Structure 1
């Protein structure tokens, strides 16, 4: 018997390496307004709580609200057109999703990325492997609120019992806690093992193959 019947995945840093495209679109928006560029490592630290907070962290301290809002709009417009240039699934992720589907496990993605980008990226890179993909939208609180997780369970026709949440960040750990789900953390994304342990991670997986084995009951 498989240990879980439903898996809710985070997207950025868990299934997809989106960091370089996020960095490029951030720096595009900053350059439009003569603001200094940010490094890839800085963007890595800034992501996880939605693109609004990403841009808030990226613009210089003291930037007026209206200018920050324009930078966010410029980022969104650029990212929607350029979000697939250097983004790719992490090695082993497609095999992970295929294995979970073969085992009859229901799959969903929930992300703090805006909804149109989440759905577009999932369709491009995963096709029909993931049936439900939910991002940030009006009227639905973003993670770490549990709202997107609950919506995903509803759209899957799944119960919270038997579900597990998988992510790469402190936001994901808190989201799982708020949703009342167990959390599996992964170390190949935007946060390292030591950081995840400091944030209260209970179980950390180092590869998609290890995660597949655990989720399907094949692990020792």
Structure 2
């Protein structure tokens, strides 16, 4: 028996390195509106709470709401056409998902990225290794609310008992807590181990191989 029968993953910074494409689309939208570009490291600090929040933080303070909304629309349109230019799975992630599938462990993704992008990226990079992928959509509260986690569990036909949440940010830690799930934080993504520890992470892994050993070890003890 493995320690968990279901694993719910975050997407950006956990399974896929999407930072450069997010930054490129952010700066494209900013340029359309003659706003200053943002550095890659600035964009890294902006991601995690959905693209609306990303653009809100990227535009200059005091930007009128209607112009911010237009900038967001330009970001979305550009990103949908360019979200696979530089994005790639983190090394070891495809093998991790393949081995979880072979072990009979159910997997899903929940993300604050808009739903169309989440489903497209998961299908293109992971196929049936991630049968459920849920992003931000109208009528469903985004993380750290637990709604998308509960929807993923329902679509998998899984119970919260025996499930674990895996993510790379403080938002993910809060999401797991709100859903009543244990959380495994990963330090290879958009936030480092120090940041995660400072925001309440109780279990941190440094590589997909380390995560795989934890998830597939019968001797592992859930926390």
Per the normalisation by structure 1, the TM-score is 0.99
Cα offset, 1:219, TM superposition = 6.5
Q: Write the distance in 1 (CA, Å) between the matches of 2:115 and 2:127.
A: 16
Q: Does 1:204 align with 2:187?
A: no
Secondary structure of 1:7 counterpart: strand
Cα offset, 1:218, TM superposition = 5.4
Q: Deviation string for 1:184-206 (max 9, x for gaps)?
A: 00000000000000000000000
Alignment of 1:175-190 (within 5 A): 175-190=175-190
Residue of structure 2 in register with 1:192 after alignment: 192
Per the normalisation by structure 2, the TM-score is 0.98
Count residues in correspondence: 220
Q: Write the distance in 2 (CA, Å) between the matches of 1:129 and 1:143.
A: 23
Secondary structure of 1:164 counterpart: strand
Cα offset, 1:153, TM superposition = 0.1
Q: Does 1:105 align with 2:66?
A: no
Q: Write the distance in 1 (CA, Å) between the matches of 2:180 and 2:44.
A: 27
Alignment of 1:2-81 (within 5 A): 2-81=2-81
Cα offset, 1:127, TM superposition = 0.9
Secondary structure of 2:217 counterpart: coil
Q: 2:18, 2:87 within 8 Å by CA — same for their partners in 1?
A: yes
Q: 1:143, 1:175 within 8 Å by CA — same for their partners in 2?
A: yes
Q: 1:210, 1:219 within 8 Å by CA — same for their partners in 2?
A: no
Q: 1:16, 1:88 within 8 Å by CA — same for their partners in 2?
A: yes
- The two structures, once aligned, show a CA RMSD in angstroms of 0.8
Gaps (5+ residues) in structure 1? none
Residue of structure 1 in register with 2:136 after alignment: 136
Q: Write the distance in 1 (CA, Å) between the matches of 2:19 and 2:30.
A: 16
Cα offset, 1:216, TM superposition = 1.1
Q: 1:8, 1:166 within 8 Å by CA — same for their partners in 2?
A: yes
Cα 1:55/1:12, change in 2 over 3 Å: same
Q: Deviation string for 1:53-86 (max 9, x for gaps)?
A: 0000000000000000000000000000000000
Q: Write the distance in 1 (CA, Å) between the matches of 2:22 and 2:120.
A: 15
Cα 1:101/1:74, change in 2 over 3 Å: same
